[in-house]
């Protein structure tokens, strides 16, 4: 009697916690099914159809996939732009954010101010950032061209140039996200035991040697993580392209997501757009697995 009397209230105390955990898990599962797995399955189903929205879907089998791989040069143009964007963006983003983190890690005064200043663009609206950078890139009176003129250099067309449009968007995107990655690296630097640095300094190691042989090896898991997440972000780039160039001029800055948007919401080819989305999903999965494979030893301490 005593045992049951003492355990019953304990069960009643744990019941609200179980209900809360079950509710949270249930809400997440519903969200994942409705907004993640459901659309993925529907997109796979839709890729076998021709659906112009205003008419009923028509089953076409593998025609969308054949068309994408053999009859659509603009898709390969988008893949090439995305590849250039990713290959340049990822190393520049990692190096710039890691460099800022190392500098601020050694800063003793105004560290909070500088950290906040660098992180501020990341929490600023992307639309606001794009509008400001559109003004900076303006060919006639933009601040960047005015600075070039004062330095004795010619004006550049930036966003209206087929050669520079993609890189112009890239510069804005790197500037906006560098602060976020910098904070990640700063947190990792603070987790490195100070005894390592002190022992190396006692042994006569220089600052460069401490960075190369102690800090960088300790940071490799974080570098690998930042590289992978930045790669995924580059493959999914859309908003800056849409706002700043709309994929132009002459499709010089079009990416896969931008091309998918055109096919789905401007030309109403939902079946073909779903095929493009599946192709992008395959690319992301393959590249992520490849990166994880080559960086797997770096995750093992």
Per-residue pLDDT tens for 255-284?
999 999 999 999 999 999 999 999 999 999
Reported as a single tens digit per residue, the pLDDT across 1-35 is: 444 444 555 555 567 777 878 888 888 888 888 88
Q: Tell me the HSE value of 1 on the side-chain side, using a 13 A CA sphere.
A: 0
End-to-end CA distance of the chain: 53
Band (108; pLDDT cuts 50, 70, 90): confident
Find out whether 280 and 259 touch, Cβ atoms under 8 Å: no
Q: Tell me the HSE value of 9 on the side-chain side, using a 13 A CA sphere.
A: 4
Q: Give pTM, 2 decimals.
A: 0.84
Find out whether 138 and 145 touch, Cβ atoms under 8 Å: yes
CA distance 81 to 251: 9
Reported as a single tens digit per residue, the pLDDT across 149-180 is: 999 999 999 999 999 999 999 999 999 999 99
Dihedral sign, Cα of residue 50, residue 52, residue 55, residue 56: positive
299 pLDDT above the threshold of 70: no
């Amino acid at each position: 009697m005593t045992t049951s009397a003492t355990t019953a209230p304990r069960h009643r105390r744990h019941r609200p916690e179980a209900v809360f955990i079950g509710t949270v898990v249930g809400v997440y599962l519903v969200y994942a099914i409705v907004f993640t797995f459901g659309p993925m399955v529907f997109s796979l189903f839709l890729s076998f159809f021709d659906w112009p929205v205003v008419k009923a879907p028509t089953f076409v089998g593998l025609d969308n996939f054949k068309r994408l791989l053999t009859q659509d040069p603009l898709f390969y143009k988008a893949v090439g732009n995305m590849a250039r964007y990713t290959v340049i963006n990822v190393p520049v983003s990692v190096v710039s954010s890691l460099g800022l983190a190392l500098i601020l890690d050694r800063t003793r005064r105004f560290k909070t101010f500088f950290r906040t200043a660098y992180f501020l663009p990341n929490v600023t609206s992307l639309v606001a950032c794009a509008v400001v950078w559109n003004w900076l890139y303006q060919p006639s009176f933009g601040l960047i061209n005015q600075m070039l003129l004062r330095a004795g250099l010619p004006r550049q067309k930036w966003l209206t140039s087929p050669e520079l449009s993609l890189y112009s968007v890239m510069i804005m995107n790197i500037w906006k996200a560098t602060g976020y990655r910098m904070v990640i690296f700063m947190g990792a630097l603070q987790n490195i035991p100070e005894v390592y640095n002190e022992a190396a300094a006692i042994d006569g190691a220089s600052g460069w040697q401490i960075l190369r042989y102690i800090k960088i090896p300790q940071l490799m898991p974080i570098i690998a993580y930042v590289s992978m997440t930045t790669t995924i972000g580059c493959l999914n780039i859309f908003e800056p392209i849409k706002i700043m160039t709309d994929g132009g001029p002459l499709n010089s800055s079009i990416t896969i997501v931008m091309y998918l948007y055109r096919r789905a919401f401007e030309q109403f080819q939902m079946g073909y757009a779903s095929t493009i989305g599946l192709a992008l999903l395959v690319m992301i999965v393959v590249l992520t697995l490849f990166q994880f494979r080559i960086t797997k030893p770096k995750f093992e301490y």
